Chains A and B, each alone.
Chain A
């Protein structure tokens, strides 16, 4: 089932009653989520992700705009008639019911022709439970289970009605690091098996990138960019998206373009044909640096972190936004740690320029062939 949002806007009255102005939680959402995909809705906390999710599942009504599931307009439909499943960060399991009762609960609400017999209910509970592999835990209470197990129960409960759309609101945030990795794979697997259109809300870009078919990056209620994770990473639409995706984060410098050349700290570091003259924000991915004693980019060496497979070079640059510039290089390379400075040349496709006022991307042409090393794998 594809999900279409058409100019959807949600405004709330300000919580501080003295302020008349309304809070715009979701502003003019206009996109289509293709059928059977896993979509990551990504943004920092408080950007309106959860509101967007509540709009899609029907817990909130949009102020403006329409929402479609397939071709059906569901904007005015109550949540229970939309065929959605919802999973929460804190699992929201009913604490006084066993796992079996929890999963069965949605089925007991079915009315009329949809009503199920006890046997049918049990069969569906078993099926949902085996999908998330908790068959042995059916008689337990939520309090007797680990966080990861509880989240699986929550997923089973969301799936038991075979929803057309599955919505996950920060489902991994309450889990510890190891369980988070494991559960995220689990969700990916379940989604592939059931082929249910899934929307996954998270503030963790790594999480979203690793399992989504498509990510939607949000900021303050406005969609910034939609695309496949790698595409968004390689081709960010603006400074916010560039900064938000990637660990370690992108290095940002204050730069200037003069006559098709990018200057950082007075030296020309890269040819950027076609970019207008003037101030720019320059984002350079950590993997965009190649150590080169003759390279144009020089910074003060602060230290190195050896990670085994690769090395992180920590350096300082007066025009950098952060005090530490991180560059990741292959451990084959040797850095002369006795030298006070370190020089790099840059991979042009790892360098992004943004207008210093609008923070929108300024694209330029580059030729990978001219630097065989830059084109190769890091």
Chain B
């Protein structure tokens, strides 16, 4: 643009087309961003509208001039929301901790220790990855029921511990650690367990953190299994809690209070995501799936 040569008209033609193209691009991207963000906006907006103001609306209002926190108070008081939170927290923490322990040990055995039939066993492990959760949930339900573990944390947690996929992910990562480190540690008389704790885990920390976060998200959002295994509110997780709120509401259809509960349930994971944005996105692109 800055030089006046004979190609000017041709150039500016291209540049106009570029500009239009890039405008279309931004409009499209912006539109999708609005579609993604709008439900979040709407739930926050609705949650700060007063019950009477919301019900008085005949057409939806995009802003509210008198924000209120009464719905949050109601959400915490009328339904055992803190209880659901605590349950989910306990469930997520214990499940993730157990999963990590079990998976790290198994991944270490596959990546570092020598034993007869290792390849065969690992292949069998991998073939389990194809088995959908829906197929085994039936027997697990019967097993847990027969053990009398319905409406209990062990019943919720134990079937959610084993994860072939995370064992696989960790094993792949452990194998990246050079052999020489292991040899050096062996020559110095380091036990396998100490090597795992002091060398492997610190080096593989990024992957361990990723796996942890993915599992926590999975726990936080799990719905089908908790719904099967709990029918007492004392053991509800947030997903079941929100469904309960939807079905029986707050005595009557109280949408703003419902939205307040939804906001409260969504916020922890969104904060977790914003803090570990890079880790989570990397971890998911390396093999996470939804659900």
Partner of B178, one of A57, A90, A97, A109: A90
B199 interfacial by beta-carbon distance below 8 Å: yes
Known: A59-B183, A86-B184, A88-B184. A95 touches B189 (CB 8 A): no
Contact with B along A59-86 (1 / 0, CB 8 A): 1000000000000000000111100111
Chain B, Cβ-Cβ closest to A97: B202
Is B2 at the interface (CB under 8 A from chain A)? no
Q: How large is the interface on A (under 10, 10 to 19, 20 to 34, 35 or more residues)?
A: 20 to 34
Provide the bound-state CA to CA distance between A97 and B202, in Å: 9
Q: Mark B174-200, 1 if CB is under 8 A from A, else 0.
A: 000010110111111111001000110
What CA separation (Å) do A54 and B185 show in the bound complex? 13
Please tell me if B45 contacts chain A, counting CB pairs below 8 Å: no
B173 to chain A, nearest CB (A): 14
Assuming the contacts A86-B184, A88-B180, A88-B183, asked whether A94 and B199 have C-beta atoms less than 8 A apart, the reply is yes
Residues of the B chain whose Cβ atoms lie less than 8 Å from the Cβ of A54: 183
Contacts of B203 in A (CB 8 A): 94-96
Q: Mark B262-286, 1 if CB is under 8 A from A, else 0.
A: 0000000000000000000000000
Residues of A within 8 A of B181 (CB): 92, 94
Closest to B177 in A: A95
Q: How many residues of B contact A (CB 8 A)?
A: 18
Inter-chain contact B194/A109, CB cutoff 8 Å: yes
Residues of B within 8 A of A81 (CB): 189
Q: Are B187 and A57 in contact (CB under 8 A)?
A: yes
What CA separation (Å) do A81 and B189 show in the bound complex?
8
| Distance from B172 Cβ to chain A, minimum over Cβ atoms (Å) | 18
B178 and A80 form a contact (CB under 8 A) = no
Across the interface, name the chain B residue whose C-beta is closest to A154.
B184
Which residues in A have their C-beta under 8 angstroms from that of B186?
Answer: 59, 79-80
**Chain B residues within an 8 Å CB radius of A80:** 186-190
How far is it, in angstroms, between the C-alpha of A85 and the C-alpha of B189 when the chains are bound?
A: 11
Most buried by A among B183, B186, B188, B199: B188
Residues of chain A with a CB closer than 8 A to B188's CB = 80, 105-106, 109, 161
**In whole Å, how far is A99's beta carbon from the nearest beta carbon of chain B?**
15
User: In whole angstroms, what is the CA distance A278 to B185 when docked?
Assistant: 56
Whether A109 and B189, one on each chain, are in contact in the complex, defined by CB atoms closer than 8 angstroms, is yes
Q: What's the least CB distance linking A299 to chain B, in Å?
A: 48
Q: How far is the CB of A324 from chain B (nearest CB, A)?
A: 39
Determine whether A288 belongs to the interface, using a CB cutoff of 8 Å to chain B: no
Q: Which residues of A contact B194 (CB under 8 A)?
A: 109
Instruction: Judge whether A90 and B180 touch: CB under 8 Å.
Output: yes
Query: A92-B181, A109-B194 are contacts. A86–B189 as well, Cβ < 8 Å?
Result: no
Q: Contact at A96–B189, with CB atoms within 8 Å?
A: no
Contact of B190 among A57, A58, A90, A109 (CB under 8 A): A109
Using A94-B199, A95-B203, A96-B202 as known contacts, say yes or no to A86 and B187 having CB atoms under 8 A apart. yes
Chain B residues whose CB sits within 8 angstroms of the CB of A59 once the complex forms: 183, 186-187
In residues 320-367 of chain A, which contact B (Cβ within 8 Å)? Answer: none
Contacts of A97 in B (CB 8 A): 202
Residues of chain A within 8 A of B205, CB atoms compared: 96
Q: Which of A79, A89, A94 contacts B187 (CB 8 A)?
A: A79
> Closest 7 CB pairs between A and B?
A80-B189, A92-B180, A106-B188, A96-B202, A88-B180, A109-B189, A79-B187
18 more contacts with CB within 8 A, not counting A92-B184, A97-B202, are A57-B187, A59-B183, A78-B189, A79-B186, A79-B187, A86-B187, A88-B183, A89-B180, A90-B178, A92-B180, A92-B181, A94-B199, A94-B202, A96-B202, A105-B198, A109-B189, A109-B191, A110-B189
Q: Which residues of A contact B (CB under 8 A)?
A: 54, 57-59, 78-81, 84-86, 88-90, 92, 94-97, 105-106, 109-110, 157, 161
Of the A-B pairs whose beta carbons lie under 8 Å apart in the complex, a sample of 17, sorted by A's number, is A54-B183, A57-B187, A58-B187, A59-B183, A79-B189, A81-B189, A86-B184, A88-B184, A89-B180, A90-B178, A90-B180, A92-B180, A94-B203, A106-B188, A106-B189, A109-B189, A161-B188
